[in-house]
Amino acid sequence: MTDRIDLPRPPQAQGARHLLASARHSLAGLRRLLQETAFRHELAGGAAGLALLLAGRASFPEILGAAVLFLLLVAAEALNTAIEVVVDHLAPGWAEFARDAKDLGSLAVLCLILANVAFVAYTILG
């Protein structure tokens, strides 16, 4: 990957090619996200939560709710990682705006981790 910003923009795909290109971009994002230790920990936590729900005989709607919450966590982690990549590019040294941006992204992820844990706990114990 290059950090150059003066490369020519590739032509935009249309129709079905656009959908395939979007899927490729999403998979590339997932591959990038898998490089993050925090995301791998979240995947393990999600698997543990699913195992607890299955062991606790959670209903299909409860499992579906947990899956939606987990996907929201994945989305927040992806956005947090994107923020970190951009901030690291803009401020390779220390800067207050960089710290604030990273802290706020981290807070968003933490809120969704807590929501996931609370949902699983309520479903199992409630």
pTM of the model: 0.87
Q: How far apart are CA 97 and CA 95, in angstroms?
A: 6
| Main-chain dihedrals φ then ψ at residue 7, nearest 5 degrees | -75, 150
Residue 126 is predicted with a pLDDT of 85
Q: Which of 36, 62, 77, 84 is catalytic?
A: 77
Specify whether 42 is catalytic: no
Report the pLDDT averaged over residues 90-106: 96
Q: What is the mean pLDDT of residues 82-110?
A: 96
